[in-house]
Structure 1
């Protein structure tokens, strides 16, 4: 497996996800733990020369979450504390980071063939970006302990955040991404190795045989 040329995309690590009373408070993994891992990834990326994009969700003024100019829409202070001039910045209002931004062109400019996704939410922007990247012909890595989900309830049922997150990590690893924890990714970054995911046939076969 050839050494990956990575770019890091930090997705929506914003204050509204950390408001314990808000509707989008990250529930699993614990948000303080996932944030600490995001910081670890950022601190490793810069000296390793990994191009980094920091993306923020934004809606118009007065919107209940991520309203332009609001405190909740701001990128978390722990991320901003690691900011440097080399960061690429972007805002969006859709799940995928690509349609409304110039991040696809940025990736081409950096020469990256692999994107590492950290941030929020597993069940929206991480999932949407990983699936959308397929059409770009780039590989995707998702860090399971540097992302996070919320509890979900709608007409189809109620699912706790842990089940949402763990199910989507399995789904992503079956086709759209190579999923690993932060420790494994840091080791791969140091060694220059790729992280190996599964595939849909392999995942389905393993399930059928009980492996």
Structure 2
């Protein structure tokens, strides 16, 4: 939710950034109305670096999120992929009695993936809102994938083990009913019919 994701080279390509931000705001509204703690995480790169320079505009929150800030939100600055690496967030969450973390924001192919996998190791259940997280195009010596493929693959991967993946609407409904999101597993994901899949 930082400005860096609205400009090159890390501009979110799928889903559309504006659509993601709408879903993020929807989730924030639902969380605050339900009295759920909100944590706002920003990534900081090296000072003077090409992206996430702590003194640069790219590090700042996008205006739509910035104007929503409240003292009730927990603020965290991280320097690695996972929101838990090198921060006190895990200890704070446990101290608050939190056992489930819902991830929204950017990027699906970095922070969301790393945080969901890390959450398993510290006893936290993770939820990912598919239409409120975004991905970028990837191309390197190991291969390439457009953002839509990256996003779809990661949502299937996460839902197979590390997270319960749902749309924001589905999450809001579950929240209103005080029900957990359905979760798959590796065996179910490996044996599901070929036509199964989320149309998101």
TM-score above 0.5, yes or no:
yes
Whole-angstrom CA distance in 2 between matches of 1:63 and 1:142: 29
2:2 alignment counterpart: 14
Match of 2:24 among 25, 38, 51: 38
- Any idea what the Cα deviations from partners look like across 1:97-128, whole Å, max 9, x if unmatched? 00211100111121111100001110110000
- Any idea what the Cα deviations from partners look like across 1:136-192, whole Å, max 9, x if unmatched? 111110000000000000012221000000000000000000000000011111111
RMSD of Structure 2 on Structure 1 (CA)? 1.2
Stretches of 4+ aligned residues off by more than 2 angstroms:
none
5+ residue gaps, structure 2 = none
* 1:137 and 2:129 aligned: no
Report deviation, 1:60: 2.1
1:87 alignment counterpart: 73
1:185 alignment counterpart: 171
Which is bigger in relative contact order (C-alpha 8 A, separation at least 6)?
Answer: 1
Match of 1:71 among 42, 52, 57: 57
Q: Which moved more, 1:115-124 or 1:77-86?
A: 77-86
Whole-angstrom CA distance in 1 between matches of 2:195 and 2:174: 29
3-state DSSP of counterpart to 1:188:
helix
Report deviation, 1:82: 1.4
* 1:174 and 2:196 aligned: no
* 1:157 and 2:143 aligned: yes
Report deviation, 1:39: 0.8
Contact 1:42-1:82 within 8 A present in 2 as well: no
Whole-angstrom CA distance in 2 between matches of 1:40 and 1:82: 12
Structure 1 length normalisation: TM-score?
A: 0.90
Contact 1:119-1:147 within 8 A present in 2 as well: yes
* 1:60 and 2:46 aligned: yes
3-state DSSP of counterpart to 1:150:
coil
- Any idea what the Cα deviations from partners look like across 1:16-41, whole Å, max 9, x if unmatched? 1011xx11000000011001110111
Report deviation, 1:210: 6.7
